[in-house]
Amino acid sequence: MNTRGFRSPLATRMEAFCQVRIGLGRKGVTDRKNLLYLDRFLQGELKSGDTITQEVARRWFEAMKHLSVGTRINHLSILRQFCRYLWHFDQRTYIVPRKLLPRRTRPAPYIYSRREVRDLLRGLRQLGPPGSLRPQTLAMLIGLLYAAGLRIGEALRLTLADVDLGSGALVIRRTKFFKSRYVPVSRSTAAALGEFIRCRNASGLSVEPTAPLFAGLSGRAYAHTTVSGPLMEVARKLGIRGPKGTPGPRIHDFRHTFAVHRL
């Protein structure tokens, strides 16, 4: 079996484990990255025929002490999952107890008020340069996150073919666990999308069905940073978010806001 970068005595099992995870709906890139760190460590710990024992796991914990909590959780989580898989082939394998994983602290969701949403959209429409499609694109994108509850990555991957104004629905492709879904939108949202698409197409951007809905002058889809930078700039001017480097409302909070306001 091609082990694609794994070099430790458990390389073959690691590659097979990655394929199992992909089959269960994982994208695999993050799993492989975290396993490669473990693989490098195991190259100096194991000989052919060895498995991951409690002592080996303890030394792996020690080697990660300098890392952030989030990184340690990712590394330990994939170790635990891999050990559970490996145990089925070698019952000498130590299964890391879940209680040994550090606790992850997540920021509490911020629920934007309806007034804050209106002010943010107004501020985005006032960004320069004059005559550019950029302000309208940013406002439409953020408005869609709020109105449809999309993740930012889902919105950025939308193409012209994914917008069905006749039925008032969006096709969301390549989302979590490789699933796709239809998302209905309100009449007002569909009308705003229709007007935006007319302006977008009139600006000279590609009108091919596969062309990105939210694109820059180059024709390439907007990136996350292309959206978050201007949004945070407007949020700071409005006093919704503090100075740079301080925590505060995020783009993903529009998804939480969508859920709360609809409920």
Q: Which residues are known catalytic residues?
A: 151, 176
Instruction: In whole angstroms, give the CA distance from residue 237 to residue 258.
Output: 23
Instruction: In whole angstroms, give the CA distance from residue 101 to residue 75.
Output: 10
Instruction: In whole angstroms, give the CA distance from residue 117 to residue 234.
Output: 11
Instruction: In whole angstroms, give the CA distance from residue 95 to residue 103.
Output: 19
Instruction: In whole angstroms, give the CA distance from residue 160 to residue 200.
Output: 10
Q: What is the DSSP secondary structure assignment for residue 203, as one 8-state letter?
A: T
Q: Is 245 left (phi over 0), alpha (psi -120 to 50) or beta?
A: left
Query: Letter for the amino acid at 250?
Result: R
Phi first, then psi, for residue 178 (nearest 5°) are 65, 20
Angle in degrees, 0-180, between the axes of helices 224-237 and 134-148, rounded to the nearest 10: 90
